[in-house]
Homo-oligomer: A and B are copies of this chain.
């Protein structure tokens, strides 16, 4: 044993690998579900103004400015229902640290967001994957108790599928589960419903949100949790004292107040999504109808990995995903119409070469 060995749990873990982030401008980037459009203009001007603000002073430890705005916009009873963080990644880390001890268990559906497993690994906890049924339905056993089960994570809409579990089922799951059920709503602005109302009715339903996707702010790190106030208070003891950057808080506040902008961008992106789905179907793909800003598709040829490589050579990045014991496929983010068309053209060219 050396003096600088990490905890044994960490030396065994497989690190999480996010999608590639090449230098800006070189690729059509449809691999990490970013918004292809710049954020609201009010965000840009708010950052410019804040550049000459009190940067030498510690920021508000709880990002009150944002929490007040978000509570108002989202119709929550008050800012004490919100915990702000350095991206929803930090919120997820806080939740896992808060609820899951070494040797305890976290549950997630499969295939889904692999990061949750990494978060369990870092904590020295274990994880259990419950496979989706055909048609991306969630089996009732997702709501069963179990030894040492301390946290259940459900992305809704799910990634990579873009599918949703109905609010009614989420409510049922929470009722039977012995622990918190976190609904990760990273992509919810592209869907038809959300679970904020459920948080008011059930103290073990928690919702996480990010400004990285629909608000076009992946570059500034800002996400938040919506939960009952007593839980928000307890969880905020775990976060770093000043976890939210002043500039990020200013930007996020301007963004959440831009609901007209959001509506326009979502309408535009969902229209592009419909076109993509039709085009992919026309090219013979099995396309899973999406409620998010990406589309999951599989081609009968099974040549997903090759297609991914072909596109990469043409400077188009999409995500190839291979889920052991389940299958592989392609997750393509919704870009602008132009980016999307360029991608579809390249896919067609590849398929014609088969």
A288 to B246, CA, bound (A): 33
Binary contact track A74-117/B, C-beta < 8 Å → 1, others 0 = 00000000000011011001000111111000000000000100
A34 to B178, CA, bound (A): 45
In this complex, which of A4, A15, A29, A45 has the most chain B Cβ atoms within 10 angstroms of its Cβ?
A: A4
Shortest beta-carbon distance from A172 to chain B in Å = 15
* A10-B43 contact given A122-B238, A204-B4, CB 8 Å threshold: no
Contact indicator B231/A247 (Cβ below 8 Å): no
Closest B residue by C-beta to A100: B7
Q: What's the number of copies of this chain in the assembled complex?
A: 2
A82 to B15, CA, bound (A): 19
Shortest beta-carbon distance from A220 to chain B in Å = 5
Q: Is A212 interfacial (CB-CB < 8 Å)?
A: yes
Q: How many residues of A contact B (CB 8 A)?
A: 84
Contact indicator A220/B245 (Cβ below 8 Å): yes
Contact indicator A34/B21 (Cβ below 8 Å): no
In this complex, which of A124, A212, A217, A240 has the most chain B Cβ atoms within 10 angstroms of its Cβ?
A: A240
- Choose among B10, B57, B90 the residue that contacts A240 (Cβ–Cβ < 8 A): B90
Q: Is A167 interfacial (CB-CB < 8 Å)?
A: no
| Known pairs A21-B61, A55-B219, A220-B245 / 19 extra A-B pairs, C-beta < 8 Å | A4-B203, A6-B234, A7-B98, A7-B100, A24-B57, A38-B56, A47-B47, A59-B219, A86-B221, A86-B240, A86-B243, A87-B243, A90-B243, A101-B124, A115-B241, A219-B245, A219-B247, A221-B245, A245-B248
A-B contact pairs, 20 of them (CB 8 A): A2-B203, A3-B180, A7-B150, A10-B234, A43-B55, A44-B51, A44-B55, A47-B48, A56-B218, A57-B219, A86-B90, A89-B241, A89-B243, A101-B102, A219-B246, A245-B245, A245-B247, A245-B248, A247-B248, A247-B251
